[in-house]
Amino acid sequence: MAVASIPLSRVQARLHERNAIAQAFFAGEAENLARLSHDMADRFAAGGRLLALGRGPQATDAQHVVVEFVHPVIVGKPALPAIDVSAGMGAGLAALARPSDIVFGFGPPNGDAHVVAALEVARERGAMTVGLPGAGATYALQPATGDPFVHQEVVEMLYHVLWETVHVFLEHGTRGLDVGQAGFLYPFLGRAAPDPSALRARVADSILAKVADDAVLRTQVSDSQGDNIVAAARLILDAVGRGGTVITLGNGGSATDATDLAIDCVLPPAGYRAVPAVSLAAEPASLSAIANDVGVDVMFLRQLVAIGAAGDVVVAFSTSGGSRNVVSALVEARKRRMHTVAFLGSDGGDVVRLGLADVAIVVRSDYIPRIQEVQASAYHVLRATMEDFARGDD
């Protein structure tokens, strides 16, 4: 048996296990999620805002859900008010929360007492609260698993489908059945207006269909990209063993994934060894200064020049593979003799065509939420595989 065959089998088993966990969870929660998205749409229509908070890895979920609502990926969908309040989840949230708001609190599977306390403050102010998890919230998630990585992936799927369904209910409530460019997400809406309970039931069915789409993509990644996940894990551990650092980057939702991977390296789950890592996407002062003074195309490149060194590993996230600031950073990394790994969507875009990644892990889809959900599984499995190698389990 080849040296890498055991880690490959684990990669594939871990990805398939995620499919079973997600499908079981959403089978039990789809109707509740349809009802929640309907309630959220009513609050947005009445002037409410989404406030999100979390700590550690879960702070990246707060950032991610905010960017989904503020900067929707479907052309023509309105921006909805959403704010990351993680930095001020105590007194700051108390000052900011309104009765019409929706407050999301993100925590690990066993919960976070600080998040639970913040949700209680929001509830006292009349806001609708969503505990992910969080006892006592208006909607309280029961974790699908005790595995912190898989839990976080299920939660990401949850807030993506909420974002999609909120827009459907907003359109249905304000412009009849004209769902605009969200129509491809919900072809069942047709022309005859269903009653609200019937619409929620159909939305619940569509949520399960999206989970099934994810399962197909994860299986494809397992079959076609498993070897690449193993190779990336080996490359990173070898580079770190020689003194290298993991440097992550990405834009928008991919920025939050890049930061999450960096946190998973330096503040890993119990039993994991720490790995040196930084996220260029988590430097708002540097990013805004470079974007303002020079341009967005070099906002990662400039940081890489300042902090990167030969032998480091640049891990780039892009759902298109064509983001100019990602491409320019990878070109610079090549010049500086850094290793490169890329998590990509579609056909891998320019990153693959130009050969800018030593290892490319591609989720072959053109729809951003599904790409990001499966990328989250892939980089979490990568992190677990790194730990396998570190323990000598190959």
Between helices 253-266 and 368-390, what is the axis angle to 10°? 10
Phi-psi region of 317 (alpha: psi -120 to 50; beta: other; left: phi over 0): beta
pTM: 0.93
pLDDT at 191: 45
Q: What whole-number distance in Å separates Cα of residue 192 and Cα of residue 210?
A: 23
Please say whether the structural domain 214-390 has been given the CATH code 3.40.50.10490.
Answer: yes
CA terminus-to-terminus distance, the chain: 11
Residue 168 has pLDDT above 70, yes or no: yes
Render pLDDT for 199-234 as a digit per residue (tens, 0 to 9): 899 999 999 999 999 999 999 999 999 999 999 999
Higher pLDDT, 76 or 140: 140
- CATH class name, domain 20-212: alpha beta
Answer whether 20-212 and 214-390 agree in fold: yes
Residue 252 has pLDDT above 60, yes or no: yes
DSSP secondary structure, 92-116, as one string: HHHHH--TT-EEEEE--TT--HHHH
DSSP secondary structure, 62-86, as one string: HHHHHHHHHS-SSTTPPP--EEE-G
pLDDT at 99: 97
Average pLDDT (35-42) is 96
Cα separation values, 165 from 35, 161, 178, 213, Å: 10, 6, 14, 16
pLDDT at 194: 57
Average pLDDT (154-169) is 95
Average pLDDT (11-28) is 98
For the ranges 16-30, 109-123, 175-189, 233-247, the lowest mean pLDDT is seen at: 175-189
Q: What whole-number distance in Å separates Cα of residue 79 and Cα of residue 167?
A: 10
Report the DSSP beta bridge partners of residue 246: 277, 313
Whether 137 contacts 130, CB under 8 Å: yes
Domain boundaries defined on the chain: 20-212, 214-390
Report the DSSP beta bridge partners of residue 279: 248
The half-sphere exposure of 4 on its side-chain side, counting CA atoms within 13 A, is: 15
Peptide bond into 133 cis (omega under 30): yes
Q: What whole-number distance in Å separates Cα of residue 230 and Cα of residue 308?
A: 24
